[in-house]
Structure 1
Amino acid sequence: MQATRIHHVAIIGSNYENSKRFYVEVLGFSIIKETFRAARNSYKLDLRVGSFDQIELFSFPHPPKRADSPEACGLRHLAFAVDNLDKAASHLQSQGVQVEDIRIDKITGKRFTFFKDPDGLPLEMYEN
Protein backbone atom coordinates (compact mmCIF):
# COMPACT_ATOMS: atom_id res chain seq x y z
CA MET A 1 0.00 0.00 0.00
CA GLN A 2 1.23 3.48 -0.82
CA ALA A 3 -0.98 6.24 0.58
CA THR A 4 -0.85 9.49 -1.37
CA ARG A 5 -2.18 11.80 1.39
CA ILE A 6 -4.42 11.87 4.44
CA HIS A 7 -8.00 11.82 3.17
CA HIS A 8 -9.67 13.13 6.31
CA VAL A 9 -9.53 13.42 10.07
CA ALA A 10 -12.66 12.55 12.07
CA ILE A 11 -13.61 14.51 15.19
CA ILE A 12 -16.52 13.81 17.53
CA GLY A 13 -17.93 16.83 19.36
CA SER A 14 -20.06 16.74 22.50
CA ASN A 15 -22.23 19.64 21.30
CA TYR A 16 -22.76 19.71 17.55
CA GLU A 17 -23.77 23.37 17.27
CA ASN A 18 -20.80 24.56 19.37
CA SER A 19 -18.36 22.42 17.38
CA LYS A 20 -19.87 23.47 14.04
CA ARG A 21 -19.62 27.16 14.99
CA PHE A 22 -16.00 26.73 16.12
CA TYR A 23 -14.75 24.87 13.05
CA VAL A 24 -16.75 26.93 10.51
CA GLU A 25 -16.95 30.44 11.98
CA VAL A 26 -13.82 30.61 14.15
CA LEU A 27 -11.39 28.45 12.15
CA GLY A 28 -12.99 29.35 8.79
CA PHE A 29 -13.32 25.87 7.30
CA SER A 30 -15.91 25.62 4.53
CA ILE A 31 -18.82 23.19 4.59
CA ILE A 32 -18.75 20.50 1.92
CA LYS A 33 -21.85 18.65 3.10
CA GLU A 34 -23.97 18.39 6.23
CA THR A 35 -25.91 15.19 6.85
CA PHE A 36 -28.34 14.28 9.62
CA ARG A 37 -28.44 10.53 10.17
CA ALA A 38 -31.83 9.93 11.84
CA ALA A 39 -31.18 6.26 12.62
CA ARG A 40 -28.19 7.31 14.76
CA ASN A 41 -29.59 10.68 15.92
CA SER A 42 -26.29 12.01 14.65
CA TYR A 43 -24.86 14.71 12.39
CA LYS A 44 -21.90 14.34 10.05
CA LEU A 45 -20.40 17.59 8.79
CA ASP A 46 -17.76 17.38 6.05
CA LEU A 47 -15.43 20.39 6.16
CA ARG A 48 -12.79 21.57 3.68
CA VAL A 49 -9.43 22.60 5.13
CA GLY A 50 -7.26 24.38 2.57
CA SER A 51 -7.45 23.04 -0.98
CA PHE A 52 -7.50 19.29 -0.43
CA ASP A 53 -7.80 18.31 3.23
CA GLN A 54 -10.99 17.39 4.98
CA ILE A 55 -12.37 17.06 8.51
CA GLU A 56 -15.40 14.95 9.30
CA LEU A 57 -17.14 16.46 12.32
CA PHE A 58 -19.54 14.04 14.03
CA SER A 59 -22.08 14.33 16.79
CA PHE A 60 -23.40 11.40 18.77
CA PRO A 61 -25.71 11.32 21.77
CA HIS A 62 -23.59 10.95 24.94
CA PRO A 63 -20.14 10.23 23.48
CA PRO A 64 -17.55 8.99 25.99
CA LYS A 65 -15.01 11.51 27.25
CA ARG A 66 -11.61 11.77 25.53
CA ALA A 67 -8.46 10.93 27.45
CA ASP A 68 -7.45 14.28 28.93
CA SER A 69 -3.71 13.97 28.49
CA PRO A 70 -2.15 14.63 25.07
CA GLU A 71 0.51 12.09 26.03
CA ALA A 72 -2.07 9.26 26.28
CA CYS A 73 -1.87 6.56 23.60
CA GLY A 74 -3.67 7.51 20.41
CA LEU A 75 -3.85 10.69 18.39
CA ARG A 76 -1.83 13.35 20.19
CA HIS A 77 -3.09 16.47 18.39
CA LEU A 78 -4.09 17.86 15.02
CA ALA A 79 -1.88 20.57 13.48
CA PHE A 80 -2.88 23.18 10.89
CA ALA A 81 -0.34 24.98 8.70
CA VAL A 82 -0.68 28.78 8.63
CA ASP A 83 1.25 31.42 6.70
CA ASN A 84 1.19 34.06 9.47
CA LEU A 85 1.14 32.64 12.99
CA ASP A 86 0.77 36.02 14.71
CA LYS A 87 -2.28 36.91 12.62
CA ALA A 88 -3.86 33.47 13.11
CA ALA A 89 -3.29 33.56 16.88
CA SER A 90 -4.71 37.10 17.12
CA HIS A 91 -7.80 36.01 15.19
CA LEU A 92 -8.41 33.09 17.55
CA GLN A 93 -7.91 35.30 20.61
CA SER A 94 -10.38 37.85 19.20
CA GLN A 95 -12.91 34.99 19.06
CA GLY A 96 -12.35 34.16 22.74
CA VAL A 97 -10.08 31.17 22.11
CA GLN A 98 -7.23 30.79 24.58
CA VAL A 99 -3.92 30.42 22.71
CA GLU A 100 -0.68 29.28 24.32
CA ASP A 101 2.50 31.33 23.97
CA ILE A 102 4.22 30.97 20.60
CA ARG A 103 7.21 28.63 20.74
CA ILE A 104 10.02 27.63 18.39
CA ASP A 105 10.35 24.01 17.25
CA LYS A 106 13.94 23.16 18.22
CA ILE A 107 14.23 20.68 15.36
CA THR A 108 12.84 22.76 12.46
CA GLY A 109 13.26 26.31 13.77
CA LYS A 110 9.59 26.97 12.88
CA ARG A 111 7.12 28.78 15.15
CA PHE A 112 4.02 27.05 16.56
CA THR A 113 1.37 27.30 19.24
CA PHE A 114 -1.48 25.26 20.68
CA PHE A 115 -5.14 25.94 21.39
CA LYS A 116 -8.19 23.76 22.09
CA ASP A 117 -11.53 23.15 20.43
CA PRO A 118 -14.78 23.38 22.47
CA ASP A 119 -14.26 19.82 23.77
CA GLY A 120 -10.64 20.35 24.78
CA LEU A 121 -9.15 18.59 21.74
CA PRO A 122 -5.59 19.91 21.44
CA LEU A 123 -5.02 21.73 18.14
CA GLU A 124 -1.80 23.25 16.85
CA MET A 125 -0.98 26.05 14.43
CA TYR A 126 2.38 25.59 12.73
CA GLU A 127 3.84 28.43 10.67
CA ASN A 128 4.88 27.61 7.09
Structure 2
Amino acid sequence: MEFEGVHHIAIIGHNLQKTLDFYVAKLGFEIIAQHRRASKKDIKVDLQKNGLVLEIFIKPDAPARSTYPEGEACGLRHLAFAVSDVDEAVRNLKKVGILTEPIRKDDYTHKKMTFFFDPDGLPLEIHE
Protein backbone atom coordinates (compact mmCIF):
# COMPACT_ATOMS: atom_id res chain seq x y z
CA MET A 1 0.00 0.00 0.00
CA GLU A 2 1.29 3.46 -0.93
CA PHE A 3 0.46 6.39 1.30
CA GLU A 4 0.30 9.72 -0.49
CA GLY A 5 0.53 11.78 2.69
CA VAL A 6 -1.50 12.58 5.79
CA HIS A 7 -5.15 13.29 4.96
CA HIS A 8 -5.99 15.01 8.25
CA ILE A 9 -5.30 15.02 11.97
CA ALA A 10 -8.25 14.76 14.36
CA ILE A 11 -8.29 16.60 17.68
CA ILE A 12 -10.97 16.64 20.38
CA GLY A 13 -11.57 19.88 22.28
CA HIS A 14 -13.98 21.01 24.98
CA ASN A 15 -14.81 24.61 24.07
CA LEU A 16 -15.60 25.84 20.54
CA GLN A 17 -14.71 29.51 21.09
CA LYS A 18 -11.41 28.82 22.88
CA THR A 19 -10.43 26.20 20.30
CA LEU A 20 -11.23 28.44 17.33
CA ASP A 21 -9.49 31.41 18.95
CA PHE A 22 -6.37 29.28 19.36
CA TYR A 23 -6.23 27.48 16.01
CA VAL A 24 -7.83 30.14 13.77
CA ALA A 25 -7.14 33.55 15.34
CA LYS A 26 -3.72 32.74 16.80
CA LEU A 27 -2.24 29.98 14.62
CA GLY A 28 -3.82 31.12 11.36
CA PHE A 29 -5.82 28.08 10.29
CA GLU A 30 -8.87 28.71 8.09
CA ILE A 31 -12.29 27.19 8.75
CA ILE A 32 -13.27 25.15 5.68
CA ALA A 33 -16.36 23.42 7.13
CA GLN A 34 -18.37 23.32 10.33
CA HIS A 35 -21.16 20.89 11.24
CA ARG A 36 -23.25 20.39 14.36
CA ARG A 37 -23.73 16.63 14.71
CA ALA A 38 -26.79 16.13 16.90
CA SER A 39 -26.56 12.34 16.83
CA LYS A 40 -23.01 12.47 18.24
CA LYS A 41 -23.62 15.51 20.44
CA ASP A 42 -20.62 17.35 19.09
CA ILE A 43 -19.50 19.98 16.60
CA LYS A 44 -17.06 19.03 13.83
CA VAL A 45 -14.90 21.83 12.44
CA ASP A 46 -12.44 21.30 9.57
CA LEU A 47 -9.48 23.66 9.50
CA GLN A 48 -6.76 24.05 6.88
CA LYS A 49 -3.42 25.82 6.59
CA ASN A 50 -0.69 25.20 4.02
CA GLY A 51 -2.21 21.87 2.99
CA LEU A 52 -2.52 20.58 6.57
CA VAL A 53 -6.10 19.70 7.57
CA LEU A 54 -7.15 19.51 11.21
CA GLU A 55 -10.46 17.89 12.01
CA ILE A 56 -11.59 19.37 15.32
CA PHE A 57 -14.35 17.70 17.32
CA ILE A 58 -15.86 19.80 20.09
CA LYS A 59 -17.13 17.47 22.80
CA PRO A 60 -17.73 19.33 26.09
CA ASP A 61 -18.08 16.05 27.99
CA ALA A 62 -14.95 14.35 26.62
CA PRO A 63 -12.57 13.09 29.34
CA ALA A 64 -9.61 15.35 30.06
CA ARG A 65 -6.22 14.49 28.58
CA SER A 66 -3.71 12.70 30.76
CA THR A 67 -1.19 15.06 32.34
CA TYR A 68 1.99 15.95 30.48
CA PRO A 69 4.79 14.94 30.57
CA GLU A 70 4.10 12.49 33.39
CA GLY A 71 1.14 10.18 32.95
CA GLU A 72 1.39 9.80 29.18
CA ALA A 73 -1.10 7.34 27.75
CA CYS A 74 -1.18 5.37 24.51
CA GLY A 75 -2.31 7.32 21.48
CA LEU A 76 -1.20 10.58 19.91
CA ARG A 77 1.63 11.95 22.00
CA HIS A 78 1.87 15.34 20.30
CA LEU A 79 1.53 17.10 16.96
CA ALA A 80 4.69 18.67 15.50
CA PHE A 81 4.70 21.54 13.02
CA ALA A 82 7.75 22.08 10.80
CA VAL A 83 9.10 25.63 10.78
CA SER A 84 12.19 27.14 9.22
CA ASP A 85 13.08 29.23 12.29
CA VAL A 86 12.01 28.17 15.79
CA ASP A 87 13.17 31.45 17.35
CA GLU A 88 10.96 33.45 15.00
CA ALA A 89 8.03 31.07 15.52
CA VAL A 90 8.35 31.47 19.30
CA ARG A 91 8.36 35.27 18.93
CA ASN A 92 5.23 35.08 16.75
CA LEU A 93 3.47 32.79 19.22
CA LYS A 94 4.34 35.14 22.09
CA LYS A 95 2.86 38.10 20.15
CA VAL A 96 -0.54 36.35 20.11
CA GLY A 97 -0.33 35.32 23.77
CA ILE A 98 0.88 31.74 23.41
CA LEU A 99 3.71 30.79 25.75
CA THR A 100 6.18 28.05 24.89
CA GLU A 101 8.57 25.91 26.82
CA PRO A 102 12.24 26.93 26.57
CA ILE A 103 13.80 26.23 23.16
CA ARG A 104 16.03 23.18 23.15
CA LYS A 105 17.80 20.98 20.62
CA ASP A 106 16.39 17.62 19.58
CA ASP A 107 18.60 14.86 20.97
CA TYR A 108 18.91 13.15 17.58
CA THR A 109 18.50 15.76 14.84
CA HIS A 110 20.21 18.50 16.86
CA LYS A 111 17.64 20.93 15.42
CA LYS A 112 15.87 23.53 17.55
CA MET A 113 12.44 22.65 18.88
CA THR A 114 9.98 23.50 21.62
CA PHE A 115 6.47 22.76 22.84
CA PHE A 116 3.34 24.79 23.48
CA PHE A 117 -0.19 23.69 24.32
CA ASP A 118 -3.68 24.11 22.91
CA PRO A 119 -6.59 25.12 25.20
CA ASP A 120 -7.20 21.47 26.16
CA GLY A 121 -3.57 20.74 26.97
CA LEU A 122 -2.64 18.94 23.73
CA PRO A 123 1.13 19.29 23.36
CA LEU A 124 2.08 20.97 20.08
CA GLU A 125 5.68 21.11 18.91
CA ILE A 126 7.51 23.40 16.53
CA HIS A 127 10.60 21.85 15.04
CA GLU A 128 13.18 23.16 12.55
> For residues 56-75 of structure 1, what are the structure 2 equivalents within 5 Å?
56-70=55-69, 71-75=72-76
Shift of 1:62: 0.8
Counterparts of 1:11 and 1:61, CA distance in 2: 13
Q: Provide the C-alpha distance between the structure 2 equivalents of 1:61 and 1:111, rounded to a whole number of angstroms.
A: 35
The alignment-based identity, stated in percent, is 48
2:26 aligns with: 26
What 5-or-longer segments of structure 2 have no aligned partner? none
**Is the Cα contact below 8 Å between 1:14 and 1:62 reproduced in 2?**
yes
- After TM superposition, list the pairs within 5 Å mapping 1:27-106 onto structure 2: 27-50=27-50, 52-70=51-69, 71-106=72-107
Return the alpha-carbon distance in structure 2 between the equivalents of residues 99 and 113 of structure 1. 7
Tell me what 2:15 maps to. Answer: 15
> C-alpha separation between the residues in 2 aligned to 1:59 and 1:53?
19
Q: Deviations over 1:17-52 (max 9, x none)?
A: 1001100011111121112223333211111131x2
Would the aligned equivalents of 1:41 and 1:61 in 2 still touch at CA under 8 Å? no
Q: Is the 8 A contact 2:13 2:60 kept in 1?
A: no
User: Alpha carbon RMSD of aligned pairs, Å?
Assistant: 1.5
Contact kept, 8 Å, 2:43 with 2:58, in 1: the verdict is yes
- Code of the residue aligned with 2:125 in structure 1: it is E
TM-score (norm 2): 0.89
Secondary structure of the structure 1 residue equivalent to 2:36: strand
